[in-house]
Structure 1
Amino acid sequence: MIEEKGGSAQILERLMSSYGVNTQKDLASALEIPPNNISGWTQRDSVPGNAIIKCALDTGVDLRWLVTGELANANYAGVGQLVGGDLYKQIISNGGKPVLRRIMDAYGFTMQKQLCELLGISSGTVSTWVRRNHFPGEVVVTCALDTGVSLQWLATGKGLQQKENAQLSVSSSIPRKNLVAGILQDAGYWEINLSFIAHTISEPIFISSNTGAWIVDMSVAGISNGRWLLGVDDKYDIYNITLLPGRRISVTNKGNTFSCGVDEVTAVGKVVIAMDFVF
């Protein structure tokens, strides 16, 4: 379930680098475990997820970097005030049903069967977690990397649930284009905080013309009822779309309406915010 790029030896090196120690004995001391545990990890070529989680929350290093070595060893904010043994005790005490519930929520699952099918584990394994109040460290790491949900929240139930890499949760720069005579012209970037929007905008862009402005989600492709940025014969504009039978649509813009086939226009993105200028 955890993709251990390079094997346990490389992961142990990253753990030691994160704690600033040079020997496995010192690493064991930092993790507050017996030194022979680490020897066992090396022999089995497997590092427990609990140790990886503790290191990430203790030191603030990037979780994906710890597991795969693919990202820079960069700190992130908000790891909480507990460290070391106190933090580890809190993590372990959040096993069983509580951590299973957070994992299910992170994936958006309503049935344990869905989680079992995704991870390739048996329902009996999940039942054992609950019965023994077990903290499934490897699954928590996998879930955090899969979903981007806050590791602190997933492991301890503390802090915010939002994804640590969620776009537009704070003030962000999004691409800006000016719409002039049906042509989209690059116009730099626009600063905005879109955290007030209930749903996620995956690929936002700000479009401005002399009559209005719009924020368009470019990741939405399939045409549906609503307002869209469309290309019609290589000219772009904002249109109101109504679906018709037979894969046809009714297209309205500035009081003019026409109908055509879905494939006769190019859906660039769906409008999520419209701003009309008042003069």
Structure 2
Amino acid sequence: MSTLISGMTGFGRADGALDGWTWTVEARSVNGRSLETRYRGPHGFDNLERLAKAAAQARLNRGQVTLGLQAKRAEGTEPAPRVNEAVLATYLRLANQLAGEGATPPSADGLLALRGVIEVAEEDEDAEGRAALEAAMAATVEQALDALKLSRQREGEQLTPVIHDFVGTIEALVARAELEASAQVEAIRERFTRRISELAPDAPGLDERVFLEAAALATKADVREELDRLTAHVASARALLQQPPAGRKLDFLMQEFMREANTLCSKSATTALTGIGLELKAVIEQLREQVQNVE
């Protein structure tokens, strides 16, 4: 049996380095009704968020994805800080005015701590080198997402036999229900006749009326349509497992499974068939829990 479906829980990691920079990308995902990607990266590489979300969308269909990129420069390669003399001159002029009115003169370290006085000359980095660095980081993001996708496929390998087993159990229960349902009409007729005989054993013409009432009850209790639909749902589930991404369609199919099982229980005329219906509901609920993990 080939595995085609993927899960939605996984982890991927990739590392990169270029021109004195080193970075690590981690990609995580958990279950989600649709694809939602959250990105967190270093200051100054804002374009990477758009690239990361596009890369996630190209690979994944559902799940809450978290992407984190941590980057640092090697010692000695950081841009040198410098004093913005225009900003400093403005602060000095204001400080001198205040000092003339009796305020304490500013200290050098106090002036340097003011916002905008010290700045890092990131703009000195050439545009071509910056673009190459961003492209290298984007490639590492894609590698981490590829690793995440592989991790989710491994989860799918584990989910596939579990889901097939539950579907097989449902199929077996439907077969049992079909055998039990074939005895419903006779059981209703016998029960109805016995009850009437107990209440009015000497009433004339009861046989025909009993037959008509029993036939009406048997028609109401006919579960052939529900069993046919359950059989069709079993076939649909197996087909969907070969047509990924199938998570959303399987979610809907679980609702249809449960609807038919509920109707089967409500129309049951024997305790045995009711018991099978309750078993069906329990297995369908277990299957639904597993389907929630399918992409």
Same fold (TM over 0.5): no
Question: Of the two, which has the highest radius of gyration?
Answer: 2
TM-score (normalizing by structure 1): 0.24
Q: Between Structure 1 and Structure 2, which shows a larger proportion of strand residues?
A: 1
Bigger RCO of structures 1 and 2 (CA < 8 A, at least 6 apart): 2
